[in-house]
């Protein structure tokens, strides 16, 4: 897929289609149902300092044109990941990006310190859509100062590229994007899910065990495209776009809006091989448009 090769944050990806965090487990679980070597990269399930059990069930609800989830960032913890998962992943050529989260700035730093010993990781993606328990529950993603604190703390701990995954649950994305860039981010990815609520009218209770959940899937795509465009206009670092991508044309739209790569999430719940299909469809789109390389699409939106 030479037409699809892209360089991002110093990393050479065979194509710009990545599996999104939280939708592809630790990658290895999908080896029997998808060709992991056919996609550009896998953003691994979010990792924390210690194992987390997650939220009570039910955790998923299929909505009109989308999905609500409230998994609660269940994971085995960074140390167990290094022992149990990463050794199995090294045989694949797809790039591995560790998603990192925490509930205080030092949590992010500690997870990265642990993962620094992990051979085979290409980059980190910081999930900042978490409440800072030391600052009264204020979300890192909603406050430029808190966001800058996390990014700058992690920045000095690693030479690996640092991607910051932004939340759409803000009034304006531009100041948040700039804060991430100014604090040392090598790229940003967006959008994460929209806080939502599904109700069972007969029981008069939420459809999810934890009440609120995050909405993803095709329903959010137009909003995600708008925010990717706005963020790409506000920063000079690369943008990775996600939100409702189902096919190659969807992926092309995100690139045109300003993204240099894309992540595929919710669609993988229906078919785990979706990311590799999207890569093939994107290559066909590039050929049809007579482009030498997929990067020629990036930032070509005419408004």
Domain topology for 2-56+71-200+214-297:
TIM Barrel (3.20.20)
Q: What is the Cα–Cα distance from 98 to 287, expressed in whole angstroms?
A: 32
pLDDT at position 111, please? 98
pLDDT, tens only, 250-289: 999 999 999 999 999 999 999 999 999 999 999 999 999 9
DSSP lists the bridge partners of residue 216 as 67
pLDDT, tens only, 212-258: 999 999 999 999 999 999 999 999 999 999 999 999 999 999 999 99
The answer on pLDDT for 70 being more than 60 is yes
If one counts every other C-beta atom within 10 angstroms of the C-beta of residue 41, the result is 26
pLDDT at position 253, please? 98
The answer on pLDDT for 118 being more than 60 is yes
130 noted as active-site residue: yes
DSSP lists the bridge partners of residue 151 as none
The alpha helices in the chain, defined as continuous H runs, are 78-84, 86-89, 105-115, 144-155, 174-182, 221-234, 248-257, 267-270, 274-288
Which whole-number Å values give the CA distances from 49 to 25, 69, 126, in the listed order?
17, 22, 13
The answer on pLDDT for 180 being more than 70 is yes
What SS3 string covers 172-207?
CCHHHHHHHHHCCCCEEEECCCEEECCEECCCCEEC
Predicted confidence band at 130 (pLDDT cuts at 50, 70, 90)? confident
Active-site residue (options: 112, 128, 130, 237): 130
């Amino acid at each position: 897929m030479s037409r699809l090769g892209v360089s991002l944050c110093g990393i050479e990806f065979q194509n710009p289609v990545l599996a999104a965090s939280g939708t592809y487990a630790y990658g290895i679980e999908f080896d029997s149902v998808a060709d992991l070597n056919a996609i550009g990269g896998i953003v691994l399930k979010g990792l924390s300092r210690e194992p987390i059990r997650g939220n009570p069930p039910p955790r998923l609800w299929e909505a009109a044109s989308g999905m609500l989830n409230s998994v609660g960032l269940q994971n085995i913890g960074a140390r167990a990941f290094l022992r149990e998962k990463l050794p199995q992943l090294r045989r694949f050529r797809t790039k591995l990006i560790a998603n990192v989260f925490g509930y205080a700035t030092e949590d992010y730093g500690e997870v990265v310190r642990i993962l620094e010993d992990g051979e085979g990781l290409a980059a980190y993606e910081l999930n900042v859509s978490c409440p800072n328990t030391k600052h009264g529950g204020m979300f890192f993603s909603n406050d430029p100062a808190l966001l800058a604190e996390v990014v700058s703390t992690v920045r000095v701990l690693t030479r690996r590229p640092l991607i910051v995954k932004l939340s759409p649950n803000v009034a304006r994305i531009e100041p948040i994007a700039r804060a991430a860039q100014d604090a040392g981010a090598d790229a940003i990815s967006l959008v994460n899910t929209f806080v939502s609520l599904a109700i069972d009218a007969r029981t008069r209770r939420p459809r999810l065990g934890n009440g609120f959940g995050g909405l993803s899937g095709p329903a959010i795509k137009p909003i995600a495209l708008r925010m990717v465009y706005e963020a790409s206009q506000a920063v000079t670092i690369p943008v990775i776009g996600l939100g409702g991508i189902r096919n190659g044309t969807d992926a092309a739209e995100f690139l045109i809006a300003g993204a240099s790569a894309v992540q595929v999430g919710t669609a993988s719940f229906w078919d785990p091989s979706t990311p590799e299909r999207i890569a093939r469809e994107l290559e066909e789109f590039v050929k049809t448009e007579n482009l030498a390389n997929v990067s020629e699409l990036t930032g070509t939106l005419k408004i």
